[in-house]
Structure 1
Amino acid sequence: MANERARELRNNATTAERKLWHRPRELKVAGQKFRRQVPIDHFIVDFACLSHRLIIEVDGATHATDAEIASDMCRQRHLESQGFTVLRFKNTDVATNLGGVMDVIVGAFVCPATPTPNPSPQGGGETQPVRTK
């Protein structure tokens, strides 16, 4: 069922997802391979480079409500607890600053984040989503 839903999402990608899809594919030259609409556990993520455990999420206006923000953060914490790094961008970031978005993505390969263990041994902080300006 997750694979069918992922296929449906790939066929009905948002404008921002389509625009970004063509850019991460450029990373294949450096040996990085991205897939889109990838089932991971009980979630479907927008883009994933499984070899580097990197997930990219592109959020539209529907992700602006308090309930959606809380849901996204719960989902992100779960994925991070599985060893993934999650980069989250807004549709407007992709539309107006695609170069900056790509810089953040490339930076994740050059200088990967070290997520705080969950729970943190110091008892504070969690890895925060990366956003562009």
Structure 2
Amino acid sequence: MVEGQPQARRPVLTSPAATVRRARGLRKELSPAELRLWLALRQRPGGLKFRKQHPAGVFALDFFCAAAKLCVEVDGETHDPGDQPAFDHERDRWLRLHEIETLRVTAKYVFRNLDAVVTLIVETARPRLPLHHDAARRGTPPRPGEVQEEV
């Protein structure tokens, strides 16, 4: 990176067409716990915008906040048996390589205490949010009484 130039942004994750189609289908077939959490997340708690069943690479993320690079997964009983834990581990590793953190909550917890789940999500996302502006591009804000020149 050259001093004084803005840092290059990473490209947005792309997904194969099959993953996009699968994610679109999953949006219509949310589990009861996912639906309950979605109804809370679509209210933008903490000012955060979430997407449901968001395609990322070959994966469909239950809920994704792009600003915080946070994936929220609702794990039901289907995440315990067989090779599912190994699949989940590999998926979490791949997401970490793309600077996306995964927060897993159980379906039981969503039903028992939805408010606590939403609070946990907001508290996990908040420190991951970017600064209010890119200082390298726009410089420091003007002092009171000064006028900032357009670049």
Relative to the length of structure 1, the TM-score reads: 0.77
Residue aligned with 1:51, SS: coil
In structure 2, what is the Cα distance between the partners aligned to 1:97 and 1:76? 25
Structure with greater contact order relative to length (CA < 8 Å, sep ≥ 6): 2
Partner of 1:102: 118
Gap regions ≥5 residues in structure 1: 113-133
Q: Which runs of 4+ in 1 moved over 2 A?
A: 109-112
For residue 26 of structure 1, what is the aligned residue in structure 2?
A: 43
1:48 to 64, 68, 80: 64
Give the aligned length: 112
RMSD: 1.7
Q: Could you tell me whether the CA contact under 8 Å between 2:68 and 2:126 is conserved in 1? A: no
Q: Deviations over 1:44-99 (max 9, x none)?
A: 11000112111100111110125211110111111011100111011111111211
- In structure 2, distance between residues paired with 1:40 and 1:55: 10
Find the counterpart in structure 1 of residue 30 from structure 2: 13
Whole-angstrom distance in 2 between the partners of 1:53 and 1:91: 22
The whole-number CA distance in structure 2 between the counterparts of 1:65 and 1:26 is 33
Aligned-residue identity in percent: 36
Is there any run of 5+ residues in structure 2 with no aligned partner, and where? 1-17, 129-151
Q: Normalising by the residue count of structure 2, what TM-score does the alignment of the two structures yield? A: 0.69
Residues of 1 paired with 2:82 and 2:121: CA distance? Answer: 26
More helix by share: 1
3-state DSSP of counterpart to 1:111: helix
Which structure 2 residues correspond to residues 1-133 of structure 1 after superposition, within 5 A? 1-27=18-44, 30-112=46-128
